[in-house]
Chains A and B, each alone.
Chain A
Amino acid sequence: MSMLASYLTLAAVLFCIGFYGVLTKRNAIIVLLSIELMLNAVNLNLVAFSKYGVNPALTGQIFSLFTMTVAAAEAAVGIAVLIVLYRSKATVNADEFDELRR
């Protein structure tokens, strides 16, 4: 098993753990953190391919930098939305944010 396959397997494990967290956790902040974990697994893939791919180049690392930037923006906006929701409903339980369904 080459090193690239090991890195890809680790990224798959982390992605699946993050996916499970997104699907089952009730606290919306933990859901946001699980999404960060999934994005990090994708970053690991990009950086692994930038070293062990057919044509090693820095493009993968630059892509992962862009992903991190977008993830930071997403975390900031997500926390702001959650704080506004907490002010109006006094909960961060993701099950109770169901106005659009009623």
Chain B
Amino acid sequence: MLNFNIDFTGEFFAFFLLSVCAIVGAVLAINFAKVVHMALSLAFTFVSLAGLFILLQAEFVAFVQVLLYVGAVTILMIFGIMMTKHQDEEKARSRPLLETLAAIGCLCLFGILFYAIRAASFPLPAAKLPDNNTLEIGKLLYSAYAIPFELVSVLLTVAFIGAVALAKREEEKP
């Protein structure tokens, strides 16, 4: 059933290296005791995913990934960790029953997904992606996807105003 007829091209080698980096980062993030270490190893995973995006000819998405996830989201999370209790460590195996059940559930989910991926047949792509994809993405964003683009900008503005309004310390009532 498992016929790994893999051709060892350069792309596969790079994919293998980057995916091992991504999985190791994610697994370490689950296993570290200190929360800051968890955040940093997830940043490592995000960087490896950016490498995978470059491998998939999505250079613009890769740069957005580095800017947004590694540069903004992880730093925001580290700020959040520093502004709350950052000394405390995850107590090892505090809820063994729940953790075992969660692990079994995740393994079942992965089994179903893996079986579905193995069973599906993927036809070969019919065309190639355009070369300068930043230009093409820009053209698409301002023609076919103009309305979703504007909606997303409104969503971002509302979310950030909401975040500031939430986190602002309230005035003492006289």
Contacts and interface: CB of A to CB of B under 8 A. Distances in A.
Nearest to A25: B90
A36 B25 CA distance: 14
A42 to B, nearest CB: 11
Interface in A1-28: 1-10, 12-21, 23-27
A33 B39 contact: yes
Main secondary structure of the interface of A (DSSP, over half): helix
Contact of B114 (A9, A30, A71, A80): A9
B56 A36 contact: no
Contacts of B26: 13-14, 17-18, 37
A72 B68 contact: yes
A17 B69 contact: no
Interface in B93-143: 94-95, 98-99, 102-103, 105-107, 109-110, 113-114, 117-118, 120, 122-123, 125-130, 133, 136-137, 140-141
B61 A64 contact: yes
A83 B168 CA distance: 10
A87 B167 CA distance: 10
Size bracket of the B interface? 35 or more
B90 A36 contact: no
Given A61-B137, A80-B163, A24 B98 contact: yes
A5 B118 contact: yes
B64 A65 contact: yes
B152 A29 contact: no
A52 B117 CA distance: 14
Contact of A33 (B3, B29, B118): B29
Contact of A79 (B107, B128, B163): B163
Interface of A: 1-10, 12-21, 23-27, 29-30, 32-33, 36-37, 40, 43-44, 47-48, 50-59, 61-62, 64-66, 68-77, 79-84, 86-87, 90-92
